[in-house]
Copies of this chain bind each other. A is one copy, B any other.
Amino acid sequence: MKVICSQSELKANLSLVSRVVPSRPTHPVLANVLLEADMESGRITLTGFDLSLGICTSLDAQILESGKLTIPAKLMNEIVSRLPEGEITLINDDEDESKAFILEIQSASGSFQVRGLGADEYPELPTIEDGDTLSLPIEALMEGLKGTAFAASTDDTKQVLTGVHFIGSQDSLEMAATDGHRLSMIQTTVESGDEDEDDDEESTGSTFDLKDFEATIPARALREVEKMLSGAQDGEQLILHVDESQVIFELGRQRLTSRKLEGTYPAYRQLIPTQFKRQMTVDRKRLLNALELVAVLADQKNNIVKFSLDSEKEQLSLSVDAKDVGSGKQTLPAEITGENLHIGFNVKYLMDGLKALGSEEITMHLNESTQPVIFNPLGGVKMTYLVMPVQLRD
C-alpha cells in the first residue's frame, strides 16, 4: 500500500470510525481500524466494527499502490490528529516480511512506524445483497431519535428494550423507546414526495414502501446515526438497507451497519391511557429548573419528587424529603383542571423527558396517583412521554 492523502480528511474519517471501535475488544484485531487502499476507485476505505455495530467510510486519495492492513485505531487516531495539516503518505511494504504489518505514516515534520495486524484477520462487515432499500427523511429521523433514544434501556440484559422501535406507515414514521419505567414515542410526518426518488442508482435490491418498515434497532447504533446525520449536507439522502437480521444506514460515503434486535417489541400503545381526569399546563423550563433544584436533595436519597397539584391556587408544588439530610419545596404557577392530587415520580425520568420535549410549555395528563402520566409538548413535534409514578410513603 502506498497512498497520499490530506491530513484533515484522514483525521475526520478516522475519528468517525474510531467511535465504534471497542476499548476492550473480545479479539485484538477488533481494536484496530481496517485500512483499504484501492487504485481503481482512488479511495482509502476505513472500517471499524465491534461485531454488532460497524462504520465504514472512504476518502479520495492518490493511490500509488493498492493494499490493506489493520492498525490500532486509538494510536492511529492520536497520531494523525496531532500531525500538521497538509499531505500525509501511508506506506505498507507487504513484500518485505519484516515490514509486512508495519504502516509508515510520513508527514513534512517526520514519520511514524506503527505495528498492525493482517487484514485477513479482520471480520467482514455484514452486507445486504437482496434486502430492501428505503429513502428516509433526514430531518424527521433526527427529530425522532432526539426524542426517543434517551428512553431506551442501557441494561444489555434487557434485550429488545435497549433499542428504538420503528414503525412506518404511508405518510409517517413512528419511533418509540421504553425501559419499562417510562416510554417516549414520536410520530413524524413524511412527505410522500420522497418516494419518487427511491430508485436511487446506488441502491441495491428492491425499494419498498415506508409502510412496510418495522424494526427494533439498538439505541447505541442510532446515537452514531444521529452524529452521522448531524454532518449531513443539504440534499444528501439517507438510504436504509434492511434484511432479516441487519440494517445499513447509508449517507454519502458513510455506511453504518447494525444488527437488528430480535424479539417482539412490547405493545406500548396499549399502555397509553386515552382518558384523563386531570390536566396541567406549565412552563417547561421553569419546571425543569425546579426539578434540577430539588434533584440536589433527591439525589441523596431515593430520587423521588412529590408533585402536589392545587387547582384553586393554580400552582404546582414539588417537594423532596431526604431523611437526615434535609428537605425542599419549590412552587410554580400552573393551569390545572380536575381535582387536587399528590403524585410521586423519579426525578431523573422527568428531567430526561422535559429536556427532550422541546416546546415552551408542556401539558401533563393525569388520572390517579398510581396510574401512568402523559407529557405532551404544546405545539411542535408530536411527542408522547409516559412516566409511571412511584408510590409515596407518607
Q: Among the listed B78, B115, B300, B330, which residue makes an inter-chain contact with A109, where contact means beta carbons less than 8 Å apart?
A: B330
Answer whether residue A276 sits at the interface, using C-beta atoms and an 8 A cutoff: no
Quick one: closest B residue to A317, CB to CB? B110
Complex-state Cα separation, A16 to B102, whole angstroms = 52
Answer whether residue A292 sits at the interface, using C-beta atoms and an 8 A cutoff: yes
Complex-state Cα separation, A109 to B333, whole angstroms = 10
User: Does B112 lie within 8 Å of A82, measured CB to CB?
Assistant: no
- Of A25-33, A171-179, A321-329, A353-361, which stretch is located at the interface? A321-329
User: Does A328 lie within 8 Å of B113, measured CB to CB?
Assistant: yes
Answer whether residue A290 sits at the interface, using C-beta atoms and an 8 A cutoff: yes
User: Does B82 lie within 8 Å of A325, measured CB to CB?
Assistant: no
Assign chain A's interface to a size class: 20 to 34
User: Does A325 lie within 8 Å of B110, measured CB to CB?
Assistant: no
Answer whether residue A293 sits at the interface, using C-beta atoms and an 8 A cutoff: yes
Quick one: closest B residue to A331, CB to CB? B110
Complex-state Cα separation, A317 to B324, whole angstroms = 63
Answer whether residue A289 sits at the interface, using C-beta atoms and an 8 A cutoff: yes
User: Does A289 lie within 8 Å of B82, measured CB to CB?
Assistant: yes
Counted per complex, copies of this chain come to 2
User: Does A113 lie within 8 Å of B327, measured CB to CB?
Assistant: yes
CB A78 to nearest CB in B, in angstroms, measures 4
User: Does A326 lie within 8 Å of B112, measured CB to CB?
Assistant: yes
User: Does B331 lie within 8 Å of A109, measured CB to CB?
Assistant: yes
- Contacts A/B (CB < 8 Å), 23 sampled: A75-B300, A75-B325, A79-B293, A79-B328, A82-B289, A82-B292, A82-B296, A83-B293, A84-B289, A102-B326, A109-B293, A109-B331, A110-B318, A110-B328, A110-B330, A110-B331, A111-B329, A112-B297, A112-B327, A112-B329, A113-B326, A114-B325, A115-B325
Q: Closest 5 CB pairs between A and B? A: A110-B330, A114-B326, A112-B328, A78-B296, A82-B293
Q: A75-B325, A110-B318 are in contact. List 12 more A-B contacts (CB 8 A).
A: A82-B289, A82-B293, A82-B296, A83-B293, A84-B289, A110-B328, A110-B329, A112-B326, A112-B328, A113-B328, A114-B325, A114-B326
